[in-house]
Amino acid sequence: MIATGLKRSRNNFDVRALTGNSSEVFLELKNSRPHVAVLSLQLEDDRLAGFKVLHQLRASNLKIPAVMLLDSAERGLVVDAFRAGARGIFWRGSTFETLPKCIRRIYEGQIWISNAELEFLLELVTNLKPFQVQNPNGKALLTPRELDVVRLVAEGMRNQEIGDALSLGEHTVRNYIFRVFDKLGLSSRVELVLYALGSENSLGDQSSHDLAGKSVPALPMAGISRAK
C-alpha cells in the first residue's frame, strides 16, 4: 500500500517494494542500492527485524540512508532507531502526504525528526554519563588525533570532510573511528556523537592544535527537517 501510494505521489520516485526476512531485505538493498530505503520495523522473521537491517546497512558501509517506519512514536523505539543508524522516523499515525517529503529530505542529506522525537534524543544526551577521556589512573584514553576526529564527528562532518580537515585519507578516518569505538565501548556513530556532546569542554581541551586557525564548518541547523 505504501509503495502504491508513493508511486501516485507525483514526486517522480522509482519505487520498488521488498518483502521477506531481514537477510533477504538486506541482500536486495545491497544489490539494488536505492537512494533511500524505507524500512518497516516488522519483517517476516521478527517484529523488530527492521533494526537488524539498519545495523547491517551501517556495518556494510553501503551509505544507503534509511527511514524507519514505526507503528507508534514510542520513546524507546525512536531512540533505538536513531542509534541503529536511521536518518529519519516516520510513524504510521502521521499523514501519508508527509512521507514523500520525508524521503526527499533524507535524499538531500538532511534528517527527518519531529520536535517530540528530538526531545527524546536531548533527554538521552542529558542523562548520559560524562564522556570519559581518561582512565582511572588519569591516563588519556584517546590520542590527540583521535580526539580531533571525535570532535569533528560530533560537529556533523562525514568521513571525507574530516579527512579533508585533518589531511587524512577517508580510510584512515574510518580506522580512527573504529579504534575510538573499541576504546570507549561504543558501537555506533550516533553513540559517539551523543557521548561527545556530553563532554564538549573535555574534547576541546585535550585535542591537538593542528586545526588552529582553520575554519571547520559545523552541522547547520537547516540540515534538520522537523516533521510537522
Look at residue 179 and tell me whether its pLDDT is greater than 80.
yes
Nearest to 18 by CA among 10, 29, 33, 30: 29
DSSP 181: H
The pLDDT value recorded for residue 9 is 62
How far apart are the C-alpha atoms of 11 and 14, rounded to whole Å? 9
Q: What is the 3-state secondary structure of 67-81? A: EEEECCCCHHHHHHH
- pTM for this model (two decimals): 0.54
Look at residue 217 and tell me whether its pLDDT is greater than 60.
no
How far apart are the C-alpha atoms of 2 and 96, rounded to whole Å? 8
Cβ(89)–Cβ(68) below 8 Å: yes
Mean of all residue pLDDT scores within the chain: 78
Highest mean pLDDT among 8-22, 52-66, 127-141: 52-66
How far apart are the C-alpha atoms of 111 and 89, rounded to whole Å? 9
Look at residue 214 and tell me whether its pLDDT is greater than 50.
no
- What's the pLDDT tens digit per position in 150-172? 889 888 788 999 999 999 999 99
Residue with cell 533527554: 123
Residue 94's alpha-carbon distances to 22, 47, 97, 99, 211, in angstroms, are 25, 20, 9, 8, 44
Cβ(39)–Cβ(54) below 8 Å: yes
The pLDDT value recorded for residue 177 is 92
- Could you tell me the pLDDT band of residue 213, with boundaries at 50, 70 and 90? very low
Q: Which of 162-166, 192-196, 221-225 has the lowest mean pLDDT?
A: 221-225
Q: What's the whole-number mean pLDDT along residues 189-215? A: 58
The pLDDT value recorded for residue 186 is 80
Q: Which residue has the higher pLDDT, 18 or 88?
A: 88
Kindly indicate whether the domain formed by 129-209 is annotated with CATH number 1.10.10.10.
Answer: yes
Q: Which of 54-63, 99-108, 155-164, 192-201 has the lowest mean pLDDT?
A: 192-201
Other C-beta atoms closer than 10 Å to the C-beta of 38 total: 21
How far apart are the C-alpha atoms of 22 and 55, rounded to whole Å? 11
- What's the pLDDT tens digit per position in 82-135? 888 899 988 877 777 788 888 888 988 898 888 888 888 888 766 665 555 555
DSSP state string for 152-175: HHHTT--HHHHHHHHT--HHHHHH
The pLDDT value recorded for residue 175 is 93
Q: What's the whole-number mean pLDDT along residues 32-36? A: 90
Q: What's the whole-number mean pLDDT along residues 175-190? A: 85
Within 13 Å and on the Cβ side, how many CA atoms surround 101? Answer: 12
Q: What's the whole-number mean pLDDT along residues 22-35? A: 90
Beta bridge partners of 179: none
Cβ(214)–Cβ(165) below 8 Å: yes
Nearest to 13 by CA among 24, 3, 1, 26: 3
Cβ(224)–Cβ(111) below 8 Å: yes
Cβ(122)–Cβ(193) below 8 Å: no
Domain ranges of the chain: 2-117, 129-209
Fold classified for 2-117: Rossmann fold (3.40.50)
